Amino acid sequence: MPQYFTNDRVLECLEGRPIGGGVGHRANIGLADADVTVESTGAFFDALDSSADVIGVPGHVQIDLSGRDLTLSGQTIVSNRGIDGSPGALLYTTDHGEDSPAWDGGSNGRGLITMEGGSRISGVRLRGPYHDYYDDPAYPGYIPLDAGDNYQEREAMRQERYARGMRILDDDVEVDNCEIYGWPMQAISVGTSSTAVSPHIHHIYGHDCMMVGAGYVIDVLNGHPTIEMSYFNATRHAIVGFGFSTCGYTLEDSVFGPTTYSHAVDMHTLAENGYGDDLTAGGRVEVRRCTFAFTHSIQDNPTQAIAFRGYPDEEYVTENCRFVHEIDGEEPPENVSNDGGLAPYRQVNVPRGEWHDWTFRNNQYGLGEPHEPGVGAPVNLDDPMAGKPLIGEERRHGLLAALRTLE
């Protein structure tokens, strides 16, 4: 399949830069701000039950949450991802399926971590149960739909693999500087059918959340999160919305890597989710200064970067983005609608060739053109060293730490 950039190439370009967090990004909170520092699962849960506002987990620590879930309210969990080359503390579960804490309550359940008002997770790795799935030849990490005698049987098999990392239930929630991976359903779920919330999600690296019929890093059920300065790769949809008129998101300064099962940025219609023939597909969705580094899926199908599946209650805005896809003539190209095909974006369930309440401004298309300042995410995938300091203080510490591990 055509793949102009590899994941390794993108990571090389992002090294030492803030996008995706880690080395190159300095969070405004760290281990030095912790009221208590823990190094075991027991101590971790004791701290959650205490009056500590900020719980620190050093980067070398692994916290096994298997068999358990937790609610974070008014507290912060912090580690040191990116500091002196640290990967950040690892919080993980092996749980999956309808009877597990990671999928408690099904599609409206809590997940591994429920985040309520005043909570924050910063600088950690959050690993789901399918981080090491290597059975499919199309892509190690892709979870195909199991064979079965009928749809119900296949669906039951698939749901046995479901797991959710976080469920966010309040505006005053922040997730930042985290690596989040291995979640076959949702890494992060935002809001409920009756609660619209607008949290802040930034500087994350979300990857290997790729299951047929599921596989989302951020699933917006209701509300309008701000998502920025992040890197997404190996997903079915990196960001998806349910379709309520109160459902949308602002997405800025982020990169979508070369490996995908389907389009990266999505908004469903209500009709697809059991609301009759209602073709409302969200309220307002803004996508600005993002870079999309793919044209085809892992199955070599032409794949759009963005697909909104109906009519917005307010407006879609796509501006100053960079697409690997070529177009003929001025933007926007003809809407391929339900037909699909090799196009940077499409609006589904509207007449072919038409765009409805979708504004396009100053986007860049194709390869071979110079990277235009202010267009796409603030990184040049054509030149890994463009604008990158030869060696900054943060990178120097990271390199020294790496060298010490070899001694």
Is 182 within a domain?
A: yes
Domain membership of residue 385 as a residue range: 7-404
CATH number at residue 245: 2.160.20
Q: Name the phi and psi angles at 267, rounded to 5.
A: -145, 120
Angle at 53 between CA 48 and CA 56, to 5 degrees: 70
48 in a structural domain = yes
Using CA atoms, how far apart are residues 97 and 67, in angstroms rounded to an integer? 12
Task: Report the pLDDT value the prediction gives residue 372, as an integer from 0 to 100.
Answer: 76
Tokens of 109: 């359940």
Residue 291 included in any domain: yes
Match 């794949």 to its residue by tokens. 303
Residue 2 lies in a domain: no
Residue 219 counted as domain residue: yes
Q: Quick check: is 268 in a domain?
A: yes
Running DSSP on this structure, what letter comes out for residue 112?
A: S
| Domains: count for the chain | 1
How many Å apart are CA 365 and CA 257, to the nearest integer? 16
Q: Are the beta carbons of 291 and 257 closer than 8 angstroms?
A: no
120's CB contacts (< 8 A; 6+ apart) are 29, 76, 77, 78, 173, 174, 175, 176
Determine the length of the chain.
407
46 domain residue, yes or no: yes
Domain-located, residue 1: no
pLDDT at 109: 78
Chain centroid, CA 130 distance in Å: 16
Q: What is the full per-residue pLDDT of the chain (407 aa) written as tens digits?
A: 456 789 999 999 999 999 999 999 999 999 999 999 999 999 999 999 999 999 999 999 999 999 999 999 999 999 999 999 999 999 999 999 988 999 987 777 788 999 999 999 999 999 999 998 877 777 877 887 666 667 787 778 788 899 999 999 999 999 999 999 999 999 999 999 999 999 999 999 999 999 888 899 999 999 999 999 999 999 999 999 999 999 999 999 999 999 999 999 999 999 999 999 999 999 999 999 999 999 999 989 999 999 999 999 999 999 999 999 999 999 999 999 999 889 999 999 999 999 999 999 999 999 866 667 889 999 988 888 876 655 444 444 444 444 344 34
Instruction: State how far the Cα of 379 lies from the Cα of 371, in Å rounded to an integer.
Output: 9
Beta-bridge mates of residue 179:
125, 205
